[in-house]
A and B are shown apart, each in its own frame.
Chain A
Amino acid sequence: MAKITFIQPDGSKQVVEATVGQTVMEAAKLENVPGIEAECGGACACATCHVYIAEGWREKTGAPSEMEEDMLDFAFDVRTESRLCCQIKVTEELDGLIVQVPAKQF
């Protein structure tokens, strides 16, 4: 298990218990985290599960793949800490992960 904290644009926090092997998007969808839309269902084909990885966690989540980087073109207000959370697999290492939900998905 890994605890993942989702921070909304208004500052409110939601902690989700994620299972190793799930994606961060799946864990968020199971707990209905607002702002994680995942229109395409996790196929890296829509950019509606865009999140910002908090300081200090970027090394553990890694950088986006080329395909994900291409898909990030379809997200809004992309930053260096941007990821599509359907492409982040939950591992024990990610226990405590903090991500910020953007003000708007497309």
Chain B
Amino acid sequence: MTMVQDRPPGQIIETDVVIIGAGPVALFAVFELGLLDIRAHLIDILDKPGGQCAELYPEKPIYDIPGLPVVTGQELTDRLMEQIKPFDPTFHLNERVDEISKHDDGRFLLKTDVGTCFLTKVVVIGAGGGSFTPKRPPIDGIEAYEGTSVHYSVRRMEVFRDKNILIVGGGDSALDWTLSLQPLSKSLTLLHRRDDFRAAPHSVEKMREMVAAGDMRLMIGQLSCLHGNDGLLESVTVKTKEGEERLPVDTLLPFFGLTMKLGPIADWGLNLEENLIPVDTEKFETSEPRIFAVGDINVYPGKLKLILSGFHEAALMAQKAHKYIYPDKKLLFQYTTSSSSLQKKLGVR
């Protein structure tokens, strides 16, 4: 497996297929395409492969994967990663595909949010419920402060120097950023709804030491209101057991986990039905030829959002993708149990 970290900007990656998403169905698509000699690039917004399985329920058992009576989300991801190893897919993680346009020669030009460009013959959308995005606290008017005073992630720490920061949450993101940003902040308050933290115990301990030393403040309560002007935050109202408190802060970092949003897919000119992509059930192709959709993101009569259905969809998609990528090659249907050429691709000795 190849993990791409940094690449000089402006370079275009030319490939046969780009898979958008890296959940279980996208991973299995690598396998089915690989058997047909098609190598894939995968792009995913998360920092790891596995999609919802790895992000939402890594520890939770799944009982309806054929042949695996019980498997956790992470185990399934790990097994799929092992299964597709012979096909050496390239992963582009922490990236979101923002644009798809048609190139003059019929191929598609894809552009990600960090500027990576792909020129590909076939696109496979395996994006599940859409891209994971940070949850926005449902507080009136919060949008006005986003990007100026309200941030859902930290890209550059310098931005937070000499700020009066309020971090909200009790998980690892909240605690990690509390520890990292406190030294350069003017003041830092961590707000959580209870005096119990999901975050790693050693970071909680460190945070408590900083509180004891008077370097920061820990508040138990919940955010209820933002106050400020022109996108600049001046203070927030926090509800605590004792009542309400107005806290003067100019920077707010809420960490309430991730949610799935369809995101830019809605702007790609594909037919959509209630945020899902309609496909046929022979090839799982969208309204745009050469763009396929597999897994939870597609819809057709009788669709079931099951991982096993997505696996089937990926297999049929690969057959048609082969026709686009190798128009002159005849495809012979083969079994991995008996075909020596398939076994060779899989590295069987």
Q: How far is the CA of A74 from the CA of B259 in the complex (A)?
A: 10
Residue in contact with A106 in the complex, picked from B138, B169, B170, B194, CB distance below 8 Å = B138
Q: Interface SS of chain A: helix, strand, loop or mixed?
A: loop
Query: What is the minimal beta-carbon distance from B318 to any residue of chain A, in angstroms?
Result: 27
The answer to whether A76 touches B192, judged by C-beta atoms less than 8 angstroms apart, is no
Complex: chain B residue closest to A48, CB-CB: B259
Residues of A contacting B171 in the complex (Cβ-Cβ under 8 angstroms) = 73
Query: What is the minimal beta-carbon distance from B338 to any residue of chain A, in angstroms?
Result: 38
The answer to whether A45 touches B56, judged by C-beta atoms less than 8 angstroms apart, is yes
Q: Give per-residue flags for B150-184: 1 if the beta carbon is below 8 A from chain A beta carbons, else 0.
A: 00000000000000000001110000000000000
Query: What is the minimal beta-carbon distance from B260 to any residue of chain A, in angstroms?
Result: 7
The answer to whether A106 touches B137, judged by C-beta atoms less than 8 angstroms apart, is yes
A31: interface (CB < 8 Å): no
Complex: chain A residue closest to B256, CB-CB: A74
Residues of B contacting A48 in the complex (Cβ-Cβ under 8 angstroms) = 259
Query: What is the minimal beta-carbon distance from B199 to any residue of chain A, in angstroms?
Result: 10
Q: How far is the CA of A15 from the CA of B190 in the complex (A)?
A: 41
The answer to whether B198 touches A77, judged by C-beta atoms less than 8 angstroms apart, is no
B60: interface (CB < 8 Å): yes
Interface residues of B in 42-73 (CB under 8 A from A): 52, 56-57, 60
Q: How far is the CA of A47 from the CA of B56 in the complex (A)?
A: 11
Residue in contact with A43 in the complex, picked from B56, B136, B257, B260, CB distance below 8 Å = B56
Residues of B contacting A45 in the complex (Cβ-Cβ under 8 angstroms) = 56-57, 60
Q: How far is the CA of A104 from the CA of B142 in the complex (A)?
A: 14
With contacts A39-B260, A69-B196, A73-B192 taken as known, whether A78 is within 8 angstroms of B222 at the C-beta atoms is yes
Q: How far is the CA of A78 from the CA of B136 in the complex (A)?
A: 16
The answer to whether A76 touches B60, judged by C-beta atoms less than 8 angstroms apart, is no
Q: Interface SS of chain B: helix, strand, loop or mixed?
A: loop
Interface residues of B in 196-254 (CB under 8 A from A): 196, 198, 222, 224
Q: Give per-residue flags for A65-106: 1 if the beta carbon is below 8 A from chain B beta carbons, else 0.
A: 000011011101110000000000000000000000001111
With contacts A43-B57, A45-B60, A73-B192 taken as known, whether A106 is within 8 angstroms of B259 at the C-beta atoms is yes
The answer to whether A106 touches B135, judged by C-beta atoms less than 8 angstroms apart, is yes
B85: interface (CB < 8 Å): no
Query: What is the minimal beta-carbon distance from B295 to any residue of chain A, in angstroms?
Result: 14
Q: How far is the CA of A77 from the CA of B135 in the complex (A)?
A: 14
Residue in contact with A46 in the complex, picked from B138, B196, B224, B259, CB distance below 8 Å = B259
The answer to whether B222 touches A39, judged by C-beta atoms less than 8 angstroms apart, is no
Residues of A contacting B193 in the complex (Cβ-Cβ under 8 angstroms) = 72-73, 78
Interface residues of B (CB under 8 A from A): 52, 56-57, 60, 129, 135-138, 169-171, 192-194, 196, 198, 222, 224, 256-257, 259-260
Interface residues of A (CB under 8 A from B): 39-40, 43, 45-48, 69-70, 72-74, 76-78, 103-106
**13 more A-B contacts (CB under 8 A) besides A39-B259, A73-B171?**
A39-B260, A40-B57, A46-B56, A46-B259, A47-B257, A48-B259, A73-B193, A74-B257, A76-B137, A76-B256, A77-B222, A104-B138, A106-B135
Return 18 A-B CB contacts under 8 Å, by A number.
Answer: A39-B129, A40-B56, A43-B57, A45-B56, A46-B56, A48-B259, A69-B196, A70-B198, A72-B193, A73-B170, A73-B193, A73-B194, A74-B256, A77-B222, A104-B138, A106-B136, A106-B256, A106-B259
